[in-house]
Amino acid sequence: MVQKITLPNVNQYKPESYEILPIDVFKIMDNAAIEYGLGIPLMMEQAGYQLARLVFQMANKPKRVVIGVGPGNNGGGGLVAARRLQAWGIDVSLHIILSQGNPLFHDQLDRCIKFGVSTSPDWNAEVFVDAYLGFSQRLPLSDSFMAAVTHANQTNSIKISLDLPTGIGDPDQMIHPDAILTLAAPKTSLVSIMKVTPIYIADLGIPFKVYRMFGYTNPLPFGKDGFIQWMQ
């Protein structure tokens, strides 16, 4: 069951105030940011840091967190969050579904292990973070990911998805999170979910000149928090 979780004193905005991007358009924005020198490692670090902050605040400094990671950049963001949370005194464990992790993913995983993050998942943790798959995911999910979805949905943990819930597009294959931290901009695929699930948008440090290329006339109000809540 989705828990109604909100954070006080976080900047909010209405969807009609800003452009809501389809995934294929957001990919172009992502690439445009890279051309300005904001490479994938930097954006991954920023995404993971903001995810760690959201987990920390939403669960009121939990004692234990389990993070599900897949082989791509979304999983890399989950690993950054794991390292950050572990450094903040939280016991973090990982559930890794790794078919062919890229070198950057493996670098992040090595750092996590050096920080003391466990690779044996603690399914009784207070918080479960879904960082299995990002905007490149395709349905139907593989058996490994479907097993992870089923297991995650059966836990009593607070569930937070990074960028997009794993299995989005099919309620029977999807992790049903209590909150979502999406990256850089609101996305059309999340519009229906926002009716029942709080959605936050993380600042990746993308320059406003890039946002302006995609129809934004004002900067998103990230402010000191580094993320904002997308309101109906």
Express each pLDDT in 178-224 by its tens digit: 999 999 999 999 999 988 899 999 999 999 999 999 999 889 988 87
Question: How sure is the predictor about 2, in pLDDT bands with cuts at 50, 70 and 90?
Answer: very low
For residue 227, the Cα-to-chain-centroid distance in whole angstroms is 12
Enumerate the domain spans of the chain.
Answer: 12-230
Q: Is the pLDDT of residue 1 over 60?
A: no
- Find, among 113, 123, 189, the residue nearest to 155 by Cα: 123
CB 71 within 8 A of CB 104: no
> What residue type is assigned to position 77 of the chain?
G
Q: Which CATH number fits domain 12-230: 3.40.50.11810, 3.40.50.300, 3.40.50.10260, 1.20.1530.20?
A: 3.40.50.10260
Decide if 32 contacts 216 (C-beta within 8 A): no
Indicate the DSSP class of residue 173: T
